[in-house]
Amino acid sequence: MKVLFVCIGNTCRSPMAEAVLNHLILKQQLEDWQTDSAGLRDWNVGILPQGRGQQLLQQHGLKTNHLGRLITPQDFYEFDYVLGMDNINLEELRQMTNRLQPPPQCKIMLLGSFLGRKEDEIIEDPYFTRGMSGFHAAYAQIRESCERFVQLHKGKEQQLQAVTL
């Protein structure tokens, strides 16, 4: 399973999601899972994630050494899931794939869609909020979404393994 998280600048939401899923991958011993994050704009290429996001991750015992990067056409072929944070991300991702040949097989979805609550499926960009409140809200949605994603897909993997044994 290969999962790519995408947001506008790859400095807040997507690196937090990558750190959360990496933690869950280790905790659940999902050795064949991989995760990364990328941005739709090149503003933060080569730069560590936003300081407030790193501070929040540290408060939860997590960390990231991710350096911002721009999404590439190849990402759509290398990852099983490309998960955006809001509808603008989702629309841009879909537009990018519409120009690719052959059409990529990855699933492009909102990370928050795994919550099962329509009102919470958009993970708002905390970058422009004052203080930490926006980061706390985004982190809570990201954490729960990643946990649900793992629950859903770990179960499917175990079912496939049972069938093939």
Are 143 and 111 contacting, i.e. CB atoms less than 8 angstroms apart?
no
Which of these is catalytic: 7, 12, 106, 146?
7
> Furthest-apart CA pair in the chain: how many Å?
53
Q: Which residues partner with 5 through β-bridges?
A: 37, 83
- Run of H or E including 52: helix 51-59
State how far the Cα of 22 lies from the Cα of 64, in Å rounded to an integer: 9
Asked about 7 being catalytic, the answer comes back as yes
Which of these is catalytic: 13, 52, 69, 143?
13
What tokens does 45 get?
Answer: 């290429």
State how far the Cα of 139 lies from the Cα of 27, in Å rounded to an integer: 18
What tokens does 84 get?
Answer: 């955006």
Which of these is catalytic: 12, 125, 143, 146?
125
Asked about 125 being catalytic, the answer comes back as yes
Q: Which residues are marked as active site?
A: 7, 13, 125
